[in-house]
Structures are given as structure tokens and as C-alpha cells.
């Protein structure tokens, strides 16, 4: 390279450390200075003549807008037990390396830690209490911009406290499986069942009579439901004169289906989002797999790390591959499983870019006077 104002050319790599890639990050450049570059090719026979020099290139700091991905188990809401250790991993990208900060809208202000590294952070609650329930927002900021991602934490207690008000999360269950969770819309006051009396709920018929349109069900299992039909469920009060619970949202038992595009082609370095739309009740367990394009049966589970992650939003599941590489070219399969069965869909991803170095060994299949066959 040649810095402006000089006539000398300096080597940017060590003589015994040849570059095998078609790109190189030149260190220790001075900001806003102009540089020219040229390249030599080297093999066992020696060095080539230098290439034509480039035009003047100004050294400036490349700025990338921050991106923040929260661990998918906590993307919507993380439910944990009191006194447990909670760790919420967060992947952070951007250049210059963003600085991260944490905000919490709950009551607890102490014993919440944010451990940061170059491309990640971890929200740590060493010994969570109910006061740690609330919204956690982590913000990544650099010279380019700032981005914020949030998740909610709910801390459950093992025993109810008398006269304390609670919300509850309920799931319906039958022989097909467990339905999606739904939250109660009214607070419920915890009372000692021994001390309850019919007078606690005035105006309600005695004996726990049900509304004529409702049928009592087993407390754990409801049988005889028809697949594809709509049902509503309610819970009776715990006291002898208790009110039936507020009817919850209608639930459907239905077969699995996945909507996923069949093919995607991008240039190397492009951020890739593979979006699958899922239908089925009870909602299925999902898993992503990856296989070489020429060996579709060699499926392996996708490994999530600081680069490859997944997003959960309502009924969609997205496999996120930032700054895609040629090695990301593969067949991607998402598989859904519940008590009704299994469904899978497959998508081919092609990542285009400069060819890499050849990989041996080379096999000579046939050699004759004129042709030669290699593999």
C-alpha cells in the first residue's frame, strides 16, 4: 500500500503469511488518510509483477446499525419459579461494537446484572423474586444508531398467599394434547378453602350449579371432543357457592400445516430470514434441520450461536442467518410435531459468492492418450 504524501510501497501482510482469500482487512490505517493499493500473486515459482494500483481510497470507519436478538425462549415471555437463577442471553451486532444498557420497569432495582461481551450480553437475575416480574429492555447503541429489544419475565410462587390477588395462566388438555396457554382477565383473591362459605359469593345459586349451556368436565381430561370443532372452557369457583370462571377464548383442534417458500437465492453477506407460518392445535413443537444440497437425507439439527438464531412471533417461526456465507447453502427443513401427527416442509437456500480454494484429493478415473477423467 502507498499512503498519500509518500512514494514508498509497504507490504500489508507478513512475507510468510500469504493470503488465500480474495479480500483482506488492512490494519492500522489512519482515519481520513488516502491510500493506494496493489496486489502480487505468489506461487512456488515466485512472485508476479504488481497489479495496477487502485485509485485513492479514504480510510473511514464503517458503521453498521446495531441489531439485537433476545434468546427465543424469552422472546415473548419467560415464566420462572421464585428463587431460581435466570439468564437471558442477548446477541448484539454492529460496528463499531455497540454499548449495551438495561432498563427494567418492575419494582426490583437491585440484584439484576448485565454481563456484556463483544457480540453478546446476558441478563442475570441471581435469585428472582416476584418483584423481578416485569419488562426488561436492552438497548445497543453505537455511532450509527441504537436498537432496543424487550422481553417480559413472570416469576411464579410455589404457594399462594392468603388475601393476595393473582392472575392465572390456564391450558386446556384432552387426549389430543395440551392447548395454547391463555391468561385470566380478572384478578382472583386467594382464600383459605376451609374458611370459605356460600355467603362469600352472594347471589350465586348454591351447590355450584352450572349454566344450562355448559357441561362439567373432568378436572384434568375432557374426552369426546371433535377435531376441527370449536369449544369454550370455564372453571368453577373453589367454594361451595363459587362462580363459574369467565369463559375463555374459543379453541380449535385442527391438523398441522406449514407454509414455507421452496427456494431462496441471495448474495454472500446478505441477511437471510427463512419464515415459516405454522398452523395446528394443540400448537406443535418445532425444530429446524439443515442438510447438504446433494445429500438431502443427511439432516442435522441447526445449531444456534451468536450468528444463527431463530425468532418466534405469534404463529410464525423465522430462522435468522445474518451476513450469510457460502457455507450456509443447504436444504433447510422445519418439522412440527404434536399429538395429532407430524408435518415437515423444506426450502433450498443458495448463497452466491466468489469461489473458495479447491479441496482435494483428486481422483484420476481414467487416463488415455487424449482425454483424462477426474473427480
CATH number of residue 92's parent domain = 2.60.40.10
pLDDT at 214: 44
17, 75: one domain:
no
pLDDT at 226: 59
Residue 229 belongs to some domain of the structure: no
Residue 54 belongs to some domain of the structure: yes
pLDDT at 209: 34
pLDDT at 306: 76
Residue 6 belongs to some domain of the structure: yes
28, 91: one domain:
no
- Measured CA to CA, the distance from residue 280 to residue 228 in angstroms comes to 10
User: At residue 291, what are phi and psi to the nearest 5 degrees?
Assistant: -140, 150
- Measured CA to CA, the distance from residue 242 to residue 199 in angstroms comes to 10
- Measured CA to CA, the distance from residue 128 to residue 125 in angstroms comes to 6
34, 76: one domain:
no
In the DSSP assignment, the letter for residue 176 is: T
Domain count, the chain: 3
- Measured CA to CA, the distance from residue 319 to residue 288 in angstroms comes to 8
54, 111: one domain:
no
278, 330: one domain:
yes
5, 31: one domain:
yes
pLDDT at 229: 57
Write down the pTM of the prediction: 0.38
pLDDT at 71: 67
pLDDT at 190: 76
pLDDT at 76: 61
72, 149: one domain:
yes
Positions of the chain with pLDDT lower than 50, given as ranges: 74, 194-220, 237-250
Tally Cβ neighbours within 10 Å of residue 127. Answer: 11
- Measured CA to CA, the distance from residue 318 to residue 323 in angstroms comes to 16
Residue 211 belongs to some domain of the structure: no
pLDDT at 174: 65
Residue 367 belongs to some domain of the structure: no
Residue 227 belongs to some domain of the structure: no
2, 34: one domain:
yes
- Measured CA to CA, the distance from residue 347 to residue 147 in angstroms comes to 30
State which residues form the domain around 319.
Answer: 255-352
Amino acid at each position: 500500500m502507498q499512503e498519500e504524501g509518500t512514494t514508498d510501497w509497504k507490504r500489508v501482510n507478513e512475507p510468510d503469511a500469504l493470503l488465500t482469500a480474495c479480500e483482506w482487512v488492512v490494519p492500522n490505517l489512519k482515519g481520513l488518510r488516502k491510500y493506494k493499493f496493489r496486489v502480487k500473486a505468489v506461487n512456488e515459482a515466485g512472485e508476479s509483477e504488481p497489479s495496477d494500483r487502485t485509485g485513492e481510497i479514504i480510510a473511514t470507519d464503517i458503521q453498521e446499525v446495531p441489531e439485537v436478538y433476545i434468546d427465543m425462549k424469552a422472546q415473548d415471555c419467560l415464566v420462572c419459579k421464585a428463587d431460581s437463577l435466570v439468564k437471558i442471553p442477548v446477541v448484539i451486532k454492529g460496528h463499531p461494537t455497540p454499548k449495551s444498557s438495561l432498563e427494567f420497569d418492575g419494582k426490583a432495582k437491585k440484584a439484576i446484572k448485565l454481563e456484556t461481551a463483544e457480540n453478546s450480553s446476558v441478563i442475570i437475575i441471581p435469585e428472582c423474586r416476584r418483584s423481578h416480574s416485569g419488562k426488561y429492555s436492552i438497548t445497543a447503541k453505537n455511532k450509527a444508531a441504537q436498537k432496543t429489544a424487550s422481553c417480559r419475565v413472570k416469576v411464579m410462587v410455589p404457594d399462594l398467599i392468603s388475601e393476595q390477588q393473582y392472575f392465572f395462566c390456564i391450558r386446556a388438555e384432552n387426549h389430543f394434547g395440551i392447548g395454547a396457554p391463555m391468561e385470566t382477565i380478572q384478578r382472583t383473591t386467594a382464600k383459605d378453602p376451609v374458611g370459605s362459605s356460600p355467603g362469600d359469593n352472594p347471589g350465586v345459586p348454591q351447590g355450584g350449579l352450572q349454566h344450562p349451556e355448559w357441561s362439567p368436565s373432568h378436572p384434568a381430561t375432557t374426552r369426546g371432543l371433535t377435531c376441527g370443532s370449536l369449544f369454550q372452557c370455564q372453571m368453577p369457583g373453589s367454594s361451595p357457592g363459587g362462580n363459574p370462571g369467565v369463559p375463555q377464548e374459543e379453541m380449535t383442534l385442527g391438523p398441522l400445516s406449514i407454509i414455507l417458500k421452496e427456494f431462496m437465492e441471495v448474495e454472500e453477506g446478505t441477511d437471510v430470514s427463512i419464515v415459516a407460518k405454522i398452523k395446528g392445535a394443540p400448537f406443535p413443537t418445532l425444530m429446524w434441520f439443515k442438510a447438504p444440497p446433494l445429500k438431502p437425507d443427511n439432516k442435522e439439527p441447526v445449531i444456534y450461536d451468536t450468528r444463527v438464531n431463530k425468532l418466534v412471533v405469534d404463529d410464525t417461526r423465522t430462522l435468522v442467518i445474518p451476513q450469510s456465507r457460502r457455507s450456509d447453502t443447504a436444504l433447510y427443513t422445519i418439522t412440527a410435531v404434536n399429538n395429532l401427527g407430524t408435518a415437515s416442509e423444506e426450502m433450498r437456500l443458495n448463497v452466491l459468492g466468489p469461489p473458495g480454494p479447491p479441496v482435494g484429493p483428486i481422483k484420476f478415473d481414467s487416463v488415455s492418450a487424449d482425454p483424462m477423467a477426474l473427480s
